[in-house]
Chains A and B, each alone.
Chain A
Amino acid sequence: MSTIEELNPGLKGLGRYEYGWADSDVAGSAAKRGLSDEVVLDISRRKDEPQWMTDLRLKSLRLFDKKPMPTWGSDLSGIDFQNIKYFVKSTEKQATTWDELPEDIKATYDKLGIPEAEKQRLIAGVAAQYESEVVYHQIRKDLEEKGVIFVDTDTGLREYPELFKEYFATVIPAGDNKFASLNTAVWSGGSFIYVPPGVHVDIPLQAYFRINTENMGQFERTLIIADEGSYVHYVEGCTAPIYKSDSLHSAVVEIVVKKNARVRYTTIQNWSNNVYNLVTKRATCAEGATMEWIDGNIGSKVTMKYPAVFLLGEHAKGETLSIAFAGEGQHQDAGSKMVHAAPYTSSSIVSKSVARGGGRTSYRGLVQINEGAHHSKSNVRCDALLVDDISRSDTYPYVDVREDDVQMGHEATVSRVSDDQLFYLMSRGMTEEEAMAMIVRGFVEPIARELPMEYALELNRLIELQMEGAVG
């Protein structure tokens, strides 16, 4: 059998990673590695947190020690928890305007294109996360006037203590799983959003995340509360530079969607190919509420991420659109969970994955319809596209129905790019590579069209990058 390189001569060129630069590492080099009570207390002390948060962090550390590693999923044996920096502070005070940012941080964001995005006024506010803590923050005035809170999570705890305490760790308790415990113990940064009743935030709220210190874990924590009848679209994007040793990213995202509210959460993660991306995301939906996850997984070494919706009120609705690309050495283990706990609830999961160059994509999902959740409907659809004969694609859909008056359907297809399709496009004058990229773009189009425009463009560019050298 031929090796991966022989089958894909173009693979070598793929090694260059577009966002794989690294700025001089000023803030990170001094930070302490490892995990202990002392580290947790130090994080809490530096942030000047209330006692309950310090206690919760310590309790979570105990839970983390007690919890076993997952007995399923990907190979995580490469993570060394004692060789990770759990807190890195890059600037002492938060900047409020662009000009106040330090030079090398500004340079990083210039490469990411944030100022352009600002100028286009496509985004409502940018909470750019650089090394664990938010350093730059701006909210448009009209949002503030409407009472929308959009701050980093540390500020949220400081300035809105009651609101924060009411919801923090209620959707994902500290002991939910090993990585949620870890995040609760050492969290830093993330976004805190509150949308008052009836308010529609009509432009997406957007934040950029970045890991920039070797071996630095990024443990951001996001909490979104959409009050009755409100609407908000939050966009999270990730890029990280390439480093020698493995990095860990373990975020927790909690979303509370109240009666008749609607929240859409869009992520395109494009971590460099040495990051373990182990994320817990969950939303609760009250009566008539809608939660939509749009989840793109392109980068990272290993991703294990299953955005969940708990449908707790009648007529609540959950939706997940998920795409995953796995190239050489990557394992994208992604999917979604839908738990129907009330009557007349509905959910839908659409997952599309492409594996190439020896990569592996797995869809892993759960649909659970509890007793009493009559007239519930759920539909799951997984499609996988195989472009060579060395890559791997798995489907692990769990279905648990405990009610008679329901409709539950699951369907999966795995197909390969047919010679007919390639021939047709090539006879129109395309190269094989262009034809392949076009077929892949067509395959993910139903999800790409749900993305904000800049993201859809970025996704198309990333697909072309990913598909380079995929034929041959």
Chain B
Amino acid sequence: MAVELKKPPVAGGVTPLATKKPGADQAHTDSGATFVPDQSRAERTRSFDLDAFPVPNGREEDWRFTPVKELADLFQPAPTEGEKYRQDVNAPAGVKTSKVPADDERLGQVGTPGDRAAAVAWNAKDQATIVKIPSGTELGEAVRVVLTASDEARINRHVLIEAGHHSKAIVALTHEGSARLTGNVEISAGDGADLTVVTIQEWDDEAVQLDQHDILVGRDARVRHIAITLGGKVVRLSTNVRYAGPGGSVECLGVYFTDAGQHQEHRLFVDHEPVHCTSNVEYRGALQGDGAHSVWVGDVLIRAAAHATDTYELNRNLVLTDGARADSVPNLEIETGEIVGAGHASATGRFDDEQLFYLQARGIPEHEARRLVVHGFFAGIINRIGLPGTQAHLMARIEKELADSIDSAFEPAAAATR
């Protein structure tokens, strides 16, 4: 079952990502084990071919945390229900936006689907949106790509964001309403570009999103990718970063607030190959309610050639109530010793009693103190988005989520049954 890439990855000395070895599914053997597990994150299958990815059963490393049973329909291609959703692009002057047919040859240059859902989206899409920021352009305001859907619309979405060399821009993708979405977002930052991409998931309760973001960072470019996940029943966002040349720097930031019955999964893969690149990953999440499940997987690969790499990953989870589950997996694979530094940290826990005590000692009531602590926990990321209006809106939204839980916890009746 050897799979070929239909399109070559972008040139520039970047190693093509591996395709699957034959015999990978011969896991059972009692004489002479022939199966070899992936020895590096880079060996995981990437392909435009749907058949390269068997339908997940939940035992795969890649899908082990995801409720695959609820997603069976999204593992089979189905046409986009165009009448049930709209995607509007509001861009300041100077930005070129276009809708292109699915077979446009600019697509698939930055990213290659890395799982069944992304391959479904690639093969079933009927069109794609391209946002192009011309070289040298500095935008005064953000480009907004607003997706609004209703009635669990089936959507196969493809967006390509291209920032020309030495351009500077913020692009915000927002998601609202109710959909069953599979998608690919390709993000290309040219040499010396300064690009921020914000993806905000404010879905209704029943929405499902299986999305893959691929980022290619040009020489000396700076990219910030910020994921804010608040709504939805199942949201799974895989973000892959590669560098096209030396000197690139990437910041991947994220915030999630996982409520009862929600599954929010963020997977990152930063693939360092050129020299002198940096990456910094920081995701913060809060969980509350029965069956709230957050998953954070951060993979960093430093290849043998990636000298002078500097990387750090951090995931913090605040578990606000019993019955929630937080999985946190920061993986590091390092093939050279010639690096500046590499590390990761993960912390999961409840409120810091000392912080609460300090605030209460200043006369602040307990529920107010709790609210302040959570506010501070998230503000550290949200305030770095760079869009004041969006920041205020998101903080208000988080405050509201929090108020629901804290107020109910502090009502005497609720406290008695707790």
Please measure, in the bound complex, the distance between the C-alpha atom of A395 and the C-alpha atom of B298, giving whole angstroms. 11
| Known contacts A70-B37, A409-B345; A401/B325 CB under 8 A | yes
The 3 A-B residue pairs with the shortest CB-CB distance in the complex, in nearest-first order: A386-B337, A68-B27, A404-B319
**Contact across chains for A398 and B29 when beta carbons are under 8 A apart:** no
Q: Mark B167-187, 1 if CB is under 8 A from A, else 0.
A: 000000000000000000000
Residues of B within 8 A of A416 (CB): 337-339
Q: What are 11 contact pairs spanning A and B, CB under 8 A?
A: A67-B28, A71-B60, A80-B32, A81-B33, A386-B336, A393-B334, A399-B329, A403-B322, A404-B350, A413-B341, A414-B342
Please measure, in the bound complex, the distance between the C-alpha atom of A64 and the C-alpha atom of B332, giving whole angstroms. 32
Please measure, in the bound complex, the distance between the C-alpha atom of A397 and the C-alpha atom of B347, giving whole angstroms. 12
B321 sits at the interface (CB 8 A): yes
**Contact across chains for A72 and B61 when beta carbons are under 8 A apart:** yes
Please measure, in the bound complex, the distance between the C-alpha atom of A387 and the C-alpha atom of B59, giving whole angstroms. 37
**Contact across chains for B350 and A405 when beta carbons are under 8 A apart:** yes
Minimum distance in angstroms from A5 CB to a CB of chain B: 16
A396 sits at the interface (CB 8 A): yes
- Closest A residue to B341 by CB, please name it: A415
Q: Mark A65-102, 1 if CB is under 8 A from B, else 0.
A: 11111111111110111100000000000000000000
**Contact across chains for A401 and B326 when beta carbons are under 8 A apart:** yes
**Contact across chains for A412 and B345 when beta carbons are under 8 A apart:** yes
**Contact across chains for A399 and B343 when beta carbons are under 8 A apart:** no
**Contact across chains for A389 and B319 when beta carbons are under 8 A apart:** no
**Contact across chains for A74 and B348 when beta carbons are under 8 A apart:** no
A155 sits at the interface (CB 8 A): no
A411 sits at the interface (CB 8 A): yes
Residues of B within 8 A of A406 (CB): 319, 348-350
Residues of A within 8 A of B335 (CB): 391-392
Residues of B within 8 A of A176 (CB): none
Candidates B29, B35, B334, B345; contact of A410 at CB < 8 Å? B345
Q: Mark A288-331, 1 if CB is under 8 A from B, else 0.
A: 00000000000000000000000000000000000000000000
Candidates B321, B334, B347; contact of A386 at CB < 8 Å? B334
Candidates A389, A394, A413; contact of B343 at CB < 8 Å? A413
Interface range, A side:
35 or more
| Known contacts A398-B329, A404-B350; A82/B334 CB under 8 A | no
B331 sits at the interface (CB 8 A): yes
A459 sits at the interface (CB 8 A): no
Residues of B participating in the A interface, judged by any CB pair closer than 8 Å: 27-39, 59-61, 304, 307, 317, 319-339, 341-350
Please measure, in the bound complex, the distance between the C-alpha atom of A68 and the C-alpha atom of B37, giving whole angstroms. 12
Would you call the interface of chain B mostly helix, strand, loop, or mixed? loop
A400 sits at the interface (CB 8 A): yes
- Closest B residue to A72 by CB, please name it: B37
| Known contacts A77-B34, A79-B33, A408-B347; A400/B334 CB under 8 A | no
| Known contacts A81-B30, A389-B304, A414-B332; A404/B344 CB under 8 A | no
Residues of A participating in the B interface, judged by any CB pair closer than 8 Å: 1, 35, 64-77, 79-82, 371, 384, 386-417
Residues of B within 8 A of A71 (CB): 27, 35, 37, 59-61
**Contact across chains for A410 and B347 when beta carbons are under 8 A apart:** yes
**Contact across chains for A404 and B320 when beta carbons are under 8 A apart:** yes
Please measure, in the bound complex, the distance between the C-alpha atom of A214 and the C-alpha atom of B37, giving whole angstroms. 27
**Contact across chains for A399 and B33 when beta carbons are under 8 A apart:** no
**Contact across chains for A75 and B334 when beta carbons are under 8 A apart:** no
- Closest B residue to A413 by CB, please name it: B343
**Contact across chains for B344 and A412 when beta carbons are under 8 A apart:** yes
| Known contacts A396-B329, A397-B329, A401-B317; A410/B346 CB under 8 A | yes
How many contacts between A and B, using CB within 8 angstroms? 158
Residue from the set B34, B317, B324, B326 with the largest chain A CB neighbour count within 10 Å:
B326
**Contact across chains for A82 and B32 when beta carbons are under 8 A apart:** yes
**Contact across chains for B324 and A404 when beta carbons are under 8 A apart:** yes
- Closest A residue to B337 by CB, please name it: A386
Candidates A1, A389, A399; contact of B348 at CB < 8 Å? A399
Seed contacts A406-B349, A408-B346; 7 additional CB < 8 Å A-B pairs? A35-B31, A71-B35, A371-B323, A398-B327, A398-B329, A404-B320, A410-B345
**Contact across chains for B346 and A397 when beta carbons are under 8 A apart:** yes
**Contact across chains for A402 and B324 when beta carbons are under 8 A apart:** yes
Residues of B within 8 A of A67 (CB): 28
Please measure, in the bound complex, the distance between the C-alpha atom of A400 and the C-alpha atom of B326, giving whole angstroms. 6
Residue from the set A35, A386, A389, A404 with the largest chain B CB neighbour count within 10 Å:
A404
Please measure, in the bound complex, the distance between the C-alpha atom of A323 and the C-alpha atom of B285, giving whole angstroms. 32
- Closest A residue to B23 by CB, please name it: A77
Residues of B within 8 A of A35 (CB): 30-31
- Closest B residue to A417 by CB, please name it: B337
Residues of A within 8 A of B307 (CB): 389
Minimum distance in angstroms from A182 CB to a CB of chain B: 10
**Contact across chains for A75 and B37 when beta carbons are under 8 A apart:** yes
Candidates B27, B341, B342, B348; contact of A69 at CB < 8 Å? B27
Please measure, in the bound complex, the distance between the C-alpha atom of A409 and the C-alpha atom of B333, giving whole angstroms. 20
Residue from the set B31, B38, B320, B324 with the largest chain A CB neighbour count within 10 Å:
B31
Please measure, in the bound complex, the distance between the C-alpha atom of A71 and the C-alpha atom of B57, giving whole angstroms. 14
Minimum distance in angstroms from B328 CB to a CB of chain A: 4
- Closest B residue to A78 by CB, please name it: B33
**Contact across chains for A414 and B319 when beta carbons are under 8 A apart:** no
| Known contacts A389-B338, A412-B344; A400/B27 CB under 8 A | no
Minimum distance in angstroms from A217 CB to a CB of chain B: 14
**Contact across chains for B32 and A403 when beta carbons are under 8 A apart:** no
Minimum distance in angstroms from A60 CB to a CB of chain B: 13
**Contact across chains for A81 and B329 when beta carbons are under 8 A apart:** no
Please measure, in the bound complex, the distance between the C-alpha atom of A354 and the C-alpha atom of B199, giving whole angstroms. 40
Residues of A within 8 A of B344 (CB): 395, 410-412
**Contact across chains for B322 and A371 when beta carbons are under 8 A apart:** yes
**Contact across chains for B338 and A392 when beta carbons are under 8 A apart:** no
**Contact across chains for A395 and B61 when beta carbons are under 8 A apart:** no
**Contact across chains for A397 and B35 when beta carbons are under 8 A apart:** no
Residues of B within 8 A of A76 (CB): 33, 36
Residues of A within 8 A of B35 (CB): 69, 71, 77
**Contact across chains for B61 and A411 when beta carbons are under 8 A apart:** no
**Contact across chains for B341 and A402 when beta carbons are under 8 A apart:** no
Residues of A within 8 A of B317 (CB): 401
Minimum distance in angstroms from A455 CB to a CB of chain B: 28
| Known contacts A71-B37, A404-B324, A413-B343; A389/B337 CB under 8 A | yes
**Contact across chains for B343 and A81 when beta carbons are under 8 A apart:** no
Please measure, in the bound complex, the distance between the C-alpha atom of A77 and the C-alpha atom of B35, giving whole angstroms. 6
Please measure, in the bound complex, the distance between the C-alpha atom of A79 and the C-alpha atom of B61, giving whole angstroms. 23
- Closest A residue to B312 by CB, please name it: A413
Residue from the set A69, A391, A397, A413 with the largest chain B CB neighbour count within 10 Å:
A69
Residues of A within 8 A of B32 (CB): 79-82
Candidates A400, A412, A417; contact of B330 at CB < 8 Å? A412
- Closest A residue to B34 by CB, please name it: A77
**Contact across chains for A65 and B329 when beta carbons are under 8 A apart:** no
Minimum distance in angstroms from A437 CB to a CB of chain B: 16
Please measure, in the bound complex, the distance between the C-alpha atom of A415 and the C-alpha atom of B310, giving whole angstroms. 11
Please measure, in the bound complex, the distance between the C-alpha atom of A364 and the C-alpha atom of B325, giving whole angstroms. 21
Please measure, in the bound complex, the distance between the C-alpha atom of A16 and the C-alpha atom of B324, giving whole angstroms. 54
Minimum distance in angstroms from B294 CB to a CB of chain A: 10
**Contact across chains for B329 and A388 when beta carbons are under 8 A apart:** no
Residues of A within 8 A of B328 (CB): 399, 401, 410
**Contact across chains for A74 and B304 when beta carbons are under 8 A apart:** no
- Closest B residue to A387 by CB, please name it: B337
- Closest B residue to A383 by CB, please name it: B343
Minimum distance in angstroms from B58 CB to a CB of chain A: 13
Residue from the set A73, A396, A403, A405 with the largest chain B CB neighbour count within 10 Å:
A403
